[in-house]
Amino acid sequence: MSKLELDLDALARQFEPDVWRRGLADARAGAVVSCVEAEGMRGWYTAKVGDPRPRTVEFQLARAAVHGQCTCEQRYDCRHLAAALHTLADEDLAREVAARKAMLDWLETAEAESPPAVPRILPRLPVP
Ligand SMILES: [Zn+2]
């Protein structure tokens, strides 16, 4: 994840204060499943935020402005987007989310690669 200098105060003004606070609470509670910058598209992010159903929020982020859309009913400037921003702005939260994402990716790969069930072979009895 690239280092971001965010003007959180400016970003916060885009949100209802209550939504902004709920986003922070969600982020601290671990609701952000993943938050990654799109490959080759600087400043474009996709985040999955669960509460408990994961929503996908895609946004373009600059230092003091964000434009995005979420799959929830509110669509714009919702708590999911707020949670993603709080995560990006907080190094500890960002690290936690990155670690969780790596774990989920690993689990997915491990599941996909696990070999088919081997038929059980009975041990051969020693012949007298
Ligand atoms: Zn949302």
The Å distance, Cα 106 to ligand 1 centre, comes to 27
What would the pLDDT profile of 75-91 be if each residue is shown by its tens digit? 999 999 999 999 999 99
How far is residue 29's CA from residue 23's CA, in Å, rounded to a whole number? Answer: 10
Taking a C-beta distance cutoff of 8 angstroms, is the pair 38, 57 a contact?
A: no
Helical H runs in 1-128?
8-12, 17-28, 79-89, 91-113
CA 55 vs. chain centroid, Å, equals 10
Q: State the residue for tokens 């709080």.
A: 86
- pLDDT for the residue 13: 97
The Å distance, Cα 110 to ligand 1 centre, comes to 30
CA 81 vs. chain centroid, Å, equals 11
For the chain, the domains span 8-104
What would the pLDDT profile of 39-50 be if each residue is shown by its tens digit? 998 899 999 999
- pLDDT for the residue 51: 62
The Å distance, Cα 16 to ligand 1 centre, comes to 13
Q: How far lies 42's CA from each of 3, 23, 39, 59, 87, in Å?
A: 11, 23, 7, 11, 17
The Å distance, Cα 82 to ligand 1 centre, comes to 9
The Å distance, Cα 103 to ligand 1 centre, comes to 24
Regions of the chain with pLDDT less than 50: 1-2
Taking a C-beta distance cutoff of 8 angstroms, is the pair 100, 33 a contact?
A: yes
- pLDDT for the residue 1: 45
- pLDDT for the residue 52: 72
How far is residue 98's CA from residue 81's CA, in Å, rounded to a whole number? Answer: 17
The Å distance, Cα 93 to ligand 1 centre, comes to 19
- pLDDT for the residue 127: 72
pTM (whole model) above 0.75: yes
The Å distance, Cα 54 to ligand 1 centre, comes to 9
The Å distance, Cα 121 to ligand 1 centre, comes to 52
First to last CA, the chain: 66
3-class SS of residue 22: helix
